[in-house]
Every structure is written in structure tokens, then in C-alpha cells.
Amino acid sequence: MNYDLSEDQVAFQEAARKFAQSAMTPHAARWDAEHQFPTELFVEAGSMGFMSLYTPTEAGGSGLNRLDSTLVIEELAAGCTSTAAFISIHNMALNMLARYGTDKVKSHWCEPLATGHKLASYCLTEPGAGSDAASLTTRAIRDGDDYLVSGSKCFISGAGATDLLITMVRTGEPGPKGISCIAIPADAEGVRFGKQEEKLGWNSQPTCTISFDSVRVPASHLLAEEGLGFKLAMEGLDGGRINIAACSVGAARACMELSLQYVKDRRQFGRAIADFQNTQFKLADMATQLVASRQMIRLAAARLDGDAPDRTSYCAMAKRFATDACFSVCDDAIQLHGGYGYTREYPIERFFRDARVHRILEGTNEVMRLVIARRLLAEQAAQLLD
């Protein structure tokens, strides 16, 4: 098994790193402090192919595989974790549209979404249906050539500033088989946005509730077929989970790099704190957590690219482990910086705040444990443990 990156992968990685260092890192603190959604950045990112990483080339995307995409996401997250996370969500929504949308809808939306001139949100979570996504109640009723959509979604990233809402709705019976997916223009009559949530982190992207009041949407905006929405949502989340795990690695790596420099420069008791064994042990543990997280993500991405039957379990394991481990790395970085790490003079506290939510979204880490355990208890357990 070869763990080395190919020349093309190194090129993707270096391009994303340079972009993050020049276009994201210098502005990340201001975006966070001013709660600024950097829409101009997304156009620049679109010109680099970062807004359509794994969208098929025939739909205007970059056509990368999921492993290559995680390399890009990690680098972007080291520049601004919050903004990289939105880019990940946009990619997930666009990919669903590009793969399952009608030709008419794709011809209208894919190009501006791929270039970053238009933005997409992924709308699954509801006030009464968070981890239990199969119980969602937002309903779409067929009315001639249209659907009438009523209900609400909450904690929607980008809501109020995005242009297209990839929305899970109920068109049939209770449970997952009654769920469909519809692409709803954000400016459609009857779409209402609530107040912006005041959050611990992820301040460079807006988050709010969306209400749908008999919103009329052409039936051509249905993705795939009625009843397949839950399947599409879970398929999207497999990739979303390794993306958000890669965001955590990017944040942790940035904290690790800042900490290495800090402990070399900071002196106590007449010595650099890097000389103390306790500091060295902590750095060793941080590096181990970081490398283990990255390798789990790459393994899961390879399983996803290979359409392996156990891909969902591997994506869940990577997400659960990496988001927990990398948050711990960010926390340790604050400890190494002492009181300075708790101030905004250093970006450590921002990475810490932005990485915390990764253990909740794309399925909480408790739900990831359920996904993994159910696979273990199924007949294919032996295959998972190979």
C-alpha cells in the first residue's frame, strides 16, 4: 500500500495551500469578528475549481475524486476553518444537483454554482428532526406541474445569503421512504429567513431558520425520483462527513504549526518551553492525533471512491475520530500558549471555536457511533474488521 501522494495530488494540495495563505489567512480574523460572509472569495475559489471539487466535469465541475478533494479542503481549513466548511457544504449541495437534477435545472444552475457566482445550501435539519432525519415533516404536495412546499428547516449554513436550497421534503409515507429532494430557489415567493443565529464559532458564514409557506416549485426541480430523498441525503452526508473531518485536520494542523513556533520562542525559567519534557510529550501526542486523523480520512475517502459496501461506516469512523481528536489538538494548542492562547492576539482560539461544531454537524458523533455499531452487528461485520 502506497501512502505517498501522486504528482497531481501534490499539485492540488500546493495550489490550495497558496490560495488559503494569500486569500483566506490574512482576512479570517476580520471575517470572524465582523460576522462577514466573504462572497467575493467564493468567486475567486470558483476560478480555482474549489467550489465544484467533485462535481462531474460535464456539469462544469472539477471532477476530482473524494480523496483528492479532502486534500484541498484540509488546506483551505488551515486558512479559515469556518469558510472552508461552507465551501464543503456548497460542494455537497452542488454535487447532488449535478448528479440527480433534470437537464433543465442543471443547465440553469450548475455553471454559476460551480464558479461561485451563485451559492447553495443543504437543507435537512428541522426543529423536531435533527439526528432523527427520517422523521422530518416539511411537506411537498403535488399541484399540477408544481409542488407546494410548507414547513421549516433550522441551522442551515449560508441561509439568507445563498441562492439555491437543496431541500429534503416529505412527499409520501412516514419514514425514510417518503422523503424526496427538491431544489428550491431562495428567492421563491413564500421562502422566509429567520434571524441569524449567534454562534460560538463559524462566524464567517450565516446560519438561520428557513420557513416555507406554500412555496410553489416546478416539478422539474425534483432531484432523482420521489421517495429517494433520504438516500440522496445520506449519500451526500458520507462525503460531507469526510469533508468536515478534513476541516478539523486543517484547523488542528494550523494550531500545531503555530504551537511549534511558539514553544521555540517562549521562554520560562531561563529556557525555551520546547525544552521541557512535558511540552515535548504534548507535541508528540498532538502530532500522533493529527496524523491518525488524516490517515483515517484518506482511508474512508478511498472506500467512498471505490463504492465499497462498507463506505458509510468508514466515513462515520473517520468523522467521529478526526473531529474529536483534532478538537483535542486545538485545545492542547491553547494550553501550550497559556493565557495568550485564550486571547484573540493569536488565532488558536478561533480555530478552537470553529472546530467545536464539527462534532455535532453532519450527524453528531454519538450518531456516528450508532452507524458504526449497526454495521458491526450486521452480517458483514467480518468485512468491516478486515
**In a shared domain, residues 249 and 359:** yes
Last residue of a domain, one of 56, 88, 114: 114
In DSSP notation, 123-159 reads E--BTTBSS-GGG---EEEEETTEEEEEEEEEEEETT
Write down the pLDDT at residue 132: 86
Last residue of a domain, one of 114, 140, 167: 114
Residues with a catalytic annotation lie at 362
CATH number at residue 204: 2.40.110.10
Report, in angstroms and rounded to the nearest whole number, the Rg of the chain calculated over CA atoms: 21
**In a shared domain, residues 200 and 222:** yes
pTM as predicted: 0.95
Q: In terms of residue numbers, what domain contains 368?
A: 230-384
Q: What is the pLDDT of residues 59-73, one digit of tens each?
A: 999 999 999 999 999
CATH number at residue 77: 1.10.540.10
**In a shared domain, residues 327 and 310:** yes
Residue 186 lies in a domain: yes
Write down the pLDDT at residue 2: 80
**Residues 99 and 269: beta-carbon distance below 8 Å:** no
Q: How many domains does the chain have?
A: 3
Write down the pLDDT at residue 344: 94
pLDDT below 50 — which residues of the chain?
Answer: none
Residue 1 lies in a domain: no
**Residues 375 and 384: beta-carbon distance below 8 Å:** yes
**In a shared domain, residues 299 and 319:** yes
Write down the pLDDT at residue 130: 83
**In a shared domain, residues 205 and 241:** no
**In a shared domain, residues 327 and 247:** yes
**In a shared domain, residues 165 and 282:** no
CATH number at residue 321: 1.20.140.10
**In a shared domain, residues 180 and 254:** no
Amino acid at position 56, single letter: P
In DSSP notation, 18-83 reads HHIIIIITTTHHHHHHHT---HHHHHHHHHTTGGGTTS-GGGTS----HHHHHHHHHHHHHH-HHH
CA–CA separation, 236 and 84 (whole Å): 17
CA–CA separation, 119 and 123 (whole Å): 13
Residue 170 lies in a domain: yes
- In sign, the C-alpha dihedral spanning 277, 280, 282, 284 is negative
Residue 2 lies in a domain: no
**In a shared domain, residues 241 and 366:** yes
**In a shared domain, residues 125 and 184:** yes
Write down the pLDDT at residue 378: 86
Residue 358 lies in a domain: yes
Cell 456548497, residue located: 90
CA–CA separation, 100 and 110 (whole Å): 12
Q: Which of 329, 378, 337, 369 is nearest to 81 (CA)?
A: 329
Long-range CB contacts for residues 85-88, cutoff 8 Å, separation at least 24? 85/157, 85/202, 85/205, 85/244, 85/247, 85/354, 85/358, 86/157, 86/158, 86/204, 86/205, 87/42, 87/45, 87/50, 87/51, 88/240, 88/243, 88/244, 88/246, 88/247
**In a shared domain, residues 195 and 138:** yes
